[in-house]
Amino acid sequence: MSKETEKSNDAAAASATGSHALQFGTAWQYESATEGTDHFEIAERYDLFVDGEFVAPQSGEYFATINPATGEPLCEVASANAADVDRAVAAAKAALPGWKRKSGDERARYLFRIARILQERAREFACLETLDNGKPIAETRDVDVPLAAQHFFYHAGWADKLDLLFPGRVPVPVGVIGQVIPWNFPLLMAAWKIAPALAGGNTVVLKPAETSPLTALRLAEVFQQAGLPAGVVNFVTGDGATGQALVRHPDLDKVAFTGSTEVGKDIQQAVAGRGVDLTLELGGKAAHIVFEDAAIDQAVEGVVRGIFFNQGHVCCAGSRLLVQESVHDLFVRKLARRMERIRVGNPLDKNTDMGAIHSAAQLARIEELVAAGVDEGATLHQSSCELPGQGFWFAPTMFTNVALSHRIAREEIFGPVLSVLTFRTPEEAVEKANNTSYGLSAGIWTDKGARILWLADRLRAGVVWNNTFNRFDAASPFGGFKESGFGREGGRAGMRAYVRLQDGLSAG
């Protein structure tokens, strides 16, 4: 067991694999040999964040959020009903005129302040995200939290330069934005959505996923600490019904959603004909293409990162490996060896590579698809690692002898499961890569620059990584083609989704 985290008010160490139940109102102590000790509280109960304050839900209802690594509850969170959503939207609407009137420079200062506070409280956020989500602390510490802060810094930079971004046009705020996010990157998705909205002069009501609400609620504390005016951002926690109530609210000017393609389609219908702007970031089944001339060992690392990062709970995961036939056997042998070395276990241990599957429901979905892969005749390879006895776990898994018609090659598994297919020519690689209803991302490993450009031109995917995978940056737009959705987040294109452009004459 890791010594990294101990429940400071309890002599018994809180281990991801330990057996004692957590008490609500737990104080956590996060220790690192190099970084000192941090201490933070998880309250017994969290209310909704509306109009700058935490308020009890009119529904009167609360639900538990659990630690996926133990299956035990962390605390209770308010469940927002339609009346609660209405109150939050009213707060965002009331805050809009004041927020719109602020100069870009003033809005930038708030965003900078939020980014700085996030950096100062980074270890607390990393630890909390790991507890609520199940992902390894090394990822929350090095990816989720720093990138969330980066999104606030980056958009602070645009807040007072929107006129430069849209030359000859007058950018005006869209208005009140309803945002719904999934559980796989809870803090990061909130930052992706909130930072450009605020930079553009909009106000927000955001619904976090039911199973991972805690970092959004802590972000609300950061907003209070930063002095963000009341009502500019509101959080309504709850399940899918809360999300439904939000996206259907008549006072929204835009809806931004990240989640499954199925729910995305439902939202598209819900907002149709209402004059509401919409951006959808949905599922994916990315092709990760490896040519025989690639640096093979680096490509193996890239493929491992592509599918096992965040337990494969990644919309842009490289879940379909297309490897050139001539190097298939070598590549699969190396991958199988590398898979054995992935350390699966306590997410709070900084040496852990792969943490817990996020929920019982997600684990059941992964198990169902893996069983389908075996039934359909693909060959299963699984790491022999030992899995903890409590909580939700799945070993790193790979299928060879996969056909394009198999469910494991077509459906998003959203777990640590790689499907390996082969190709002979670049043309065949493109054809197989594009043979999917999704189009979020793709990856190419080859030594030839010209080949990268040739492929990138032909791949129907919003993001194409070359000799790397799963790299993110606030300056780089992210979004899909086809059933992976529309609209971009990040970069100039992402900012465009949070303003409306008027024609006007500029002074001078």
Q: Which residue has the tokens 């009140």?
A: 176
Q: Which amino acid is at 474?
A: A
Q: Is 286 helix (H, G, I), strand (E, B) or coil?
A: coil
- 127 vs 497 by CB, closer to Mg ion: 127
Q: Which stretch binds Mg ion (CB under 5 A): 17-25, 92-100, 142-150, 205-213?
A: 205-213
Least separation, in Å, of the C-beta of 175 and ligand NAP?
19
Q: Which amino acid is at 255?
A: V
* Residue 247 within binding range of ligand NAP, rule CB under 6 A: yes
* Residue 307 within binding range of ligand NAP, rule CB under 6 A: no
> 291: part of which helix (H) or strand (E)?
none
Please confirm, yes or no, whether 315 is among the known catalytic residues: yes
Q: Which stretch binds Mg ion (CB under 5 A): 8-16, 125-133, 261-269, 442-450?
A: 125-133
List the single partner that 65 binds among Mg ion, ligand NAP, none, CB under 5 to 8 Å by kind: Mg ion
Task: Report DSSP state, residue 470.
Answer: S
- 170 vs 493 by CB, closer to ligand NAP: 493
Q: Indicate which single residue of 179, 244, 311, 383 sits in contact with ligand NAP (rule: CB under 6 A).
A: 244
Catalytic residue among 139, 281, 412, 483: 281
Binding mask 60-89 for Mg ion (x = CB under 5 A): -----xx-----------------------
Q: Which stretch binds ligand NAP (CB under 6 A): 56-64, 202-210, 334-342, 386-394?
A: 202-210
State how far Cα 391 lies from the chain centre: 21
Q: Which residues within the stretch 155-184 sit at the binding site for ligand NAP (CB under 6 A)?
A: 180-184
Q: Which stretch binds ligand NAP (CB under 6 A): 90-98, 206-214, 301-309, 390-398?
A: 206-214
Least separation, in Å, of the C-beta of 129 and Mg ion?
10
List the single partner that 210 binds among ligand NAP, Mg ion, none, CB under 5 to 8 Å by kind: ligand NAP
Output b/e per residue, 200-233; b: 16+ Cβ within 10 A: bbbbbbbbbbbbbbbbbbbbbebbeebebebbbb
* Residue 144 within binding range of Mg ion, rule CB under 5 A: no
Sheet of 203-207: strand order equals 53-55, 48-50, 233-235, 203-207, 176-180, 254-258, 277-281, 485-486
Catalytic residue among 4, 127, 129, 315: 315
List the single partner that 132 binds among Mg ion, ligand NAP, none, CB under 5 to 8 Å by kind: Mg ion
Q: Which residue has the tokens 């969290």?
A: 46
Tell me the CB-side half-sphere exposure of residue 208, using CA atoms within 13 A. Answer: 33
Q: Which residues within the stretch 210-229 sit at the binding site for Mg ion (CB under 5 A)?
A: 211
Give the separation between CA 363 and CA 365, rounded to whole angstroms: 5
**Contacts with 204 (C-beta within 8 Å, 6 or more apart), sequence order:** 92, 176, 177, 178, 179, 193, 194, 197, 198, 232, 233, 234
- 19 vs 437 by CB, closer to ligand NAP: 437
Least separation, in Å, of the C-beta of 114 and Mg ion?
24
Provide the residue count of the chain: 508
* Residue 362 within binding range of Mg ion, rule CB under 5 A: no
Q: Indicate which single residue of 130, 179, 258, 419 sits in contact with ligand NAP (rule: CB under 6 A).
A: 258
Q: Which amino acid is at 305?
A: R
Output b/e per residue, 138-150; b: 16+ Cβ within 10 A: bbbbebbbbbbbb
* Residue 132 within binding range of Mg ion, rule CB under 5 A: yes
Give the separation between CA 398 and CA 411, rounded to whole angstroms: 15
Q: Which stretch binds Mg ion (CB under 5 A): 207-215, 399-407, 434-442, 462-470?
A: 207-215
Please confirm, yes or no, whether 281 is among the known catalytic residues: yes
List the single partner that 240 binds among Mg ion, ligand NAP, none, CB under 5 to 8 Å by kind: ligand NAP
Per-residue CA distances from 9 to 40, 69, 475 (Å): 12, 20, 43
Q: Which amino acid is at 508?
A: G
Which region, left, alpha or beta, applies to residue 199 given φ > 0 means left and ψ of -120 to 50 means alpha?
alpha
Binding mask 207-236 for ligand NAP (x = CB under 6 A): x-xxx-------------------------
Sheet of 5-7: strand order equals 5-7, 27-32, 36-41
List the single partner that 412 binds among ligand NAP, Mg ion, none, CB under 5 to 8 Å by kind: ligand NAP
Task: Report DSSP state, residue 140.
Answer: I
Residue 31: beta bridge partners? 37
- 183 vs 465 by CB, closer to ligand NAP: 183
Give the separation between CA 254 and CA 267, rounded to whole angstroms: 12
* Residue 331 within binding range of ligand NAP, rule CB under 6 A: no
| 422 contacts 447 by C-beta, under 8 angstroms | no
* Residue 400 within binding range of Mg ion, rule CB under 5 A: no
Q: Closest Cα partner for 392 from 343, 345, 351, 349?
A: 345
> 379: part of which helix (H) or strand (E)?
strand 379-382
List the single partner that 151 binds among ligand NAP, Mg ion, none, CB under 5 to 8 Å by kind: none
Q: Which stretch binds ligand NAP (CB under 6 A): 53-61, 126-134, 240-248, 403-411?
A: 240-248
Q: Indicate which single residue of 175, 259, 396, 426 sits in contact with ligand NAP (rule: CB under 6 A).
A: 259
* Residue 440 within binding range of ligand NAP, rule CB under 6 A: yes
Give the separation between CA 92 and CA 459, rounded to whole angstroms: 40
Size of the site for ligand NAP (CB under 6 A): 30
- 81 vs 422 by CB, closer to ligand NAP: 81
What does the binding site for Mg ion look like in residue numbers (CB under 5 A)?
65-66, 132, 211
- Would you please indicate which residues are annotated as catalytic (active-site) residues? 281, 315
What does the binding site for ligand NAP look like in residue numbers (CB under 6 A)?
180-184, 207, 209-211, 239-240, 243-244, 247, 258-260, 263, 266-267, 281-284, 315, 412, 414, 440, 480, 485
